Chain A
């Protein structure tokens, strides 16, 4: 089965790292976006199975993006994973309360990303 994942991060290094990590799952293809606005545009113009988004981004940050995505009934069930440097409990709780499904902190560990993505996409 093919899965499409939208990766939203202002850092090209981070986008490439996340793309490398998730593409290790067979049938996964990724689309990149560099900020929240770009990400939301791409989400609404395409069909995606999961969103990986940073929190600290220019134009529109990740938290605002999550609340907008969840406000749209078409995307109320799409899994959203926040990938961020913010390791505090409050940041995590805020992201989850806004509708994110999972929260991964940097430095990035490909195995963590993979296990979270597999769980949310129900890949065995």
Chain B
């Protein structure tokens, strides 16, 4: 009876051990299943990570390329803008020089006209004309000739670099000077040659002194200063100014001198009569 009980007890122990083994095997199977799932999951994640990693770098490269392209375009635009600004600067610099030149010319013309009309004294007017021709035009030998409307002859009234007597009376319509006085048109020699012997009939420039279309005289230039090889644009403007303003100044001063003389004579008569 005791043996039977012992065997039963041992069977019971075996059964329990077997059950434990079965439970343990069950647990191992479950764990295996879980781990297999985990491996699959990790493999999938890995695959997805790989896939997403590759497409990300492509995308990044594409984005960088796009940005590079945009920067290139921007650089190109900036280079173009820089070129445009440089061209604009150059244009402004040239314009500045032109304005500077114009400004100087205007200042010279202003001074010339201001001086011409600063006096009513005939001799002073002539002196100012000489100064303008020397200092602004740069002439060395020249003369101012006025027309005597009674005799139709031109007489030198002021000269520089040559005596007045060396310029003879010139009949209107004869030679270069006479023709300028007749036509009222400026005369410029085609080419300024080295100065040789002084010839009063052969000026290099002859400008009529005109009040509107009425010629009252001429300026005849024979020689320029040695440092002045040719005429500039300003010279032509000065000649135009001289043609008008110098003529007016000469005419006004002559009229003023005459009226002063007449006034003095009349005053003398009045004084004589009232005494």
Contacts and interface: CB of A to CB of B under 8 A. Distances in A.
Given A87-B225, A107-B137, A107-B228, A16 B108 contact: no
Contacts of B101: 111
A20 B107 CA distance: 7
Contacts of A13: 111-112, 115, 128, 131-132, 135-136
B138 interface: yes
A11 interface: yes
Nearest to A112: B104
A41 to B, nearest CB: 24
A21 B107 CA distance: 8
A16 B114 contact: yes
Contacts of B132: 13
A110 B138 contact: no
A85 B136 contact: no
Q: How large is the interface on B (under 10, 10 to 19, 20 to 34, 35 or more residues)?
A: 20 to 34
B111 A20 contact: yes
Interface residues of A, number: 18
B134 A85 contact: yes
B227 interface: yes
Given A16-B115, A87-B227, A107 B136 contact: yes
B140 interface: yes
Interface in A82-119: 85, 87-88, 105-111
Interface in B204-243: 225-228
B100 interface: yes
Interface string B44-71: 0000000000000000000000000000
A28 interface: no
Contacts of B135: 11, 13-14, 17, 106-108
A100 B74 CA distance: 57
A58 interface: no
A87 B228 CA distance: 9
A88 B226 CA distance: 8
Interface string A5-46: 000000111101100110000000000000000000000000
Interface in B113-161: 114-115, 118, 128, 131-132, 134-138, 140
Nearest 10 CB-CB pairings of A with B: A87-B227, A107-B138, A13-B131, A110-B104, A87-B226, A11-B131, A105-B227, A13-B115, A20-B107, A16-B111
Given A11-B131, A13-B135, A17-B135, 15 more contacts: A11-B135, A12-B131, A13-B132, A16-B111, A16-B115, A17-B111, A20-B110, A20-B111, A21-B107, A105-B227, A106-B225, A108-B136, A110-B107, A110-B108, A111-B104
